[in-house]
Amino acid sequence: MKYINKLLLGAVSVLFMASCVEDSLLDYRVDKPESVVQQEYLNDYDVLKSYVDRSASPDFKLGAGVSLNAFNERGVVYSHIMSNFDEVTAGYAMKHGAIVQNNGSMNFSGVEKFVATAQEAGVTIYGHTLAWHANQNAEYLNSIIADREVEFDPDATVEVVDGIKDYAVDPFDGWFGGPVTPVVQDGKLVVTNTEAQPNFWDIQYHVASGIPTIVGTNHKVTLRIKGSTAGEFTLALGTWGNTDNKTISITEEWQEVTTEFIGLVDNSFVMIQSGNYVGTYEIEWVKVTHQEAPSVIVPRYIYESDFSDGEPLGGWGNGSTRTVVDGELLMVNPSVVNFWEAQAAIDFPTPLTDGETYFLSMKIKGSAAGAVRPGFQDPSDYSSGGDFSAISFNTEWKEVTVQTTVTKESASRFLFSYGDFAGTIYIDDLKLYFEESANSLPLTPEEKADTLSWALDNWIAGMMEVSKDYVHAWDVVNEPMDDGNPYELKTGVGKTDMAADEFYWQDYLGKDYAVMAFNLAAQYGSPEDKLFINDYNLEYNIDKCKGLIKYVEYIEEQGARVDGIGTQMHINTNTDKDKIVEMFNLLAATGKLIKISELDMGIADGVITANATEADLQAQADMYQFVVEKYLELIPASQQYGITVWSPLDSPKESSWRADQPIGLWNLNYYRKPAYAGFADGLSGN
């Protein structure tokens, strides 16, 4: 019995000691790390698409941007997308630059596989994009509107005019020597000699000067001439001490007299020596030409405007103004002063070519008869760089083309001087250009538009043919509006840093390029397709949002159908929430389907992934939740197409898009971030 009692006592002692150990362990318990707690919390969420309220928004599509190749591999990207999203948008592989080859053929093999893979995954495809200025095969598009080669007979020659002096419009300004002075009367140069001189060179003068000639090349000098009596005199081409001389005959009838010369210098005068001729002779014009292999003379424009953009010329002086009204430039001068005291100007970024001949072409009229003086100027000291002839005008439109040679290497300004005319000068279709000899001919604007209309038709028809059985929503026109002029379209005109894949359809097809694109998408697609226009920064630049809405109205006024508007929303945690609300209200008021088409979010100030704090990530979660909630609150359910997360994962360091920024709902290891919870809570309303 004693032995048994001792055993019982020992057992009780052991139990007591065990109880003490348990109490001791509870006193020193270690809590789970916060990161583990947070990850367990995030892991408790269901897949993302489960939070869409299908009863409230039965047609809502939760989408994701994907790499076509990665998705087609049917690996982790495929599984991730299939589990969490309803729809996919290919980031690049359905764009013109990815499909159209340099010879114009189209390779749709990747798209065909993409469609099959999406069908297998049970997700829809949002087509991206049909008409854009970026990610285009610009090399091909530029090649089909490039100058076309002109074929010539290898034995053919053409006459090239080296210089012409027409006394109907030109004064006599050449050198002369002897007792007789040439004068211009009724548009003709008149020379009268009453008695024969001892030598033929005793009367001599330059009938034309400054003619560019080619050493060793045959040149023809042609004069339209007649005399009071028949006779002969000497005609010379060259320069002092180095001329080729010929004898020509004239009659009492007007005739064109042509004589051939060898070019001896590269800058010649045409000289007449008529000391032995007695009587009066008249010259209407003199022309110097030579023969060479055929080529095409191509205008190279340094300025061209029909003023349809509303931009006037700059200018100054005498309270004068320069405005554009109904696509015409109006230069108004209130009173008569010196002609240089009221001017309109065009400044060029680089100087013009010294010695080059430039042409000015335009339509002009005035509120009364008058004249304007065009010319080039060196703005550093306001000296002349080459003046055109004064251009007269009256109250009726007339077309004029004049030319001059730039005389100063630092001339970089074109001027209209009109201070001596009081009233309004109207100008349209203003062009400044020089000419080049080429073996190709530029297409006209109409030819370029026709060619590109065909190319756009061919591209959209091809894409629809391979995808229309499964793809029923399209980003038809992407990013049309200009950031600096948000009510106008983007343009490549004047850009000096054009990317290799940049091509602006609108610069050739005009404002109706989008009308054409929407009509083609409707023509070649399926009747149930939803056709969208899409742009960025609509929540940042409210005027751009309004400009896009105005453009949609214009497109529909021209008869095309626009079903929806996409707002990209590449935003940050500090994006203005009030502007987001204003944007959603403006878009909702259109009555169109509204899609958040490319949503991603960076941390304020561009914080990279490694530097993002818990507070940063929570701010991101809060903003994601705000955006989703406001979309569901402010866009009526019948207008909610859905939301596409452009980058589900954070951006890698080597990415071309927001590199090394924590923009996604998952990190690069596919772990959910607080942003996931914010997005899911925004969808569920909890």
| CB proximity list for 491: less than 8 A, separation 6 or greater | 482, 504, 506, 507
Residues 319 and 269 in one domain: no
Residues 228 and 188 in one domain: yes
Residues 322 and 418 in one domain: yes
As a whole number of angstroms, the distance between CA 79 and CA 670 comes to 11
Residues 166 and 252 in one domain: yes
Domain that holds residue 208: 158-294
Measured in whole angstroms, the distance separating CA 508 from the mean position of its chain's CA atoms is: 10
309-322 confidence digits (pLDDT tens): 899 999 999 999 99
C-alpha torsion sign, points 411, 353, 212, 186: negative
Residues 381 and 247 in one domain: no
Overall average pLDDT of the 424-431 stretch:
98
141-171 confidence digits (pLDDT tens): 999 999 888 887 888 888 989 999 999 988 9
Residues 352 and 429 in one domain: yes
Q: Domain for residue 287, yes or no? A: yes
Residues 290 and 301 in one domain: no
| Angle between helix 542-557 and 577-588 (nearest 10) | 10
Residue 492 has pLDDT above 50, yes or no: yes
Q: Are 282 and 226 in contact (CB under 8 A)?
A: yes
Q: Domain for residue 348, yes or no? A: yes
Residue from 424, 461, 413 nearest 302 by CA: 413
Residues 313 and 337 in one domain: yes
407-427 confidence digits (pLDDT tens): 999 999 999 999 999 999 999
Residues 360 and 239 in one domain: no
Q: Tell me, what's the pLDDT at 38? A: 67
Q: Domain for residue 244, yes or no? A: yes
Q: Domain for residue 191, yes or no? A: yes
Residue from 128, 59, 137 nearest 93 by CA: 128
The domain boundary, picked from 262, 294, 326, lies at 294
Q: Domain for residue 613, yes or no? A: no
Residue 19 has pLDDT above 50, yes or no: no
Residues 361 and 383 in one domain: yes
The domain boundary, picked from 441, 467, 491, lies at 441
Q: Domain for residue 429, yes or no? A: yes
Overall average pLDDT of the 429-451 stretch:
92
Beta strands 640-645 and 593-602 are parallel
Q: Domain for residue 107, yes or no? A: no
Residues 288 and 349 in one domain: no
Q: Tokens 């007695």 label which residue?
A: 278
pTM for the structure as a whole? 0.68
Q: Domain for residue 502, yes or no? A: no
Residues 245 and 284 in one domain: yes
Q: Tell me, what's the pLDDT at 158? A: 85
Q: Domain total for the chain?
A: 2
Residue 9 has pLDDT above 50, yes or no: no
Residue 172 has pLDDT above 70, yes or no: yes
495-526 confidence digits (pLDDT tens): 889 999 999 999 999 999 999 999 999 999 99
The domain boundary, picked from 264, 294, 324, lies at 294
CATH number at residue 200: 2.60.120.260
Q: Are 218 and 160 in contact (CB under 8 A)?
A: no
Q: Tell me, what's the pLDDT at 26? A: 38
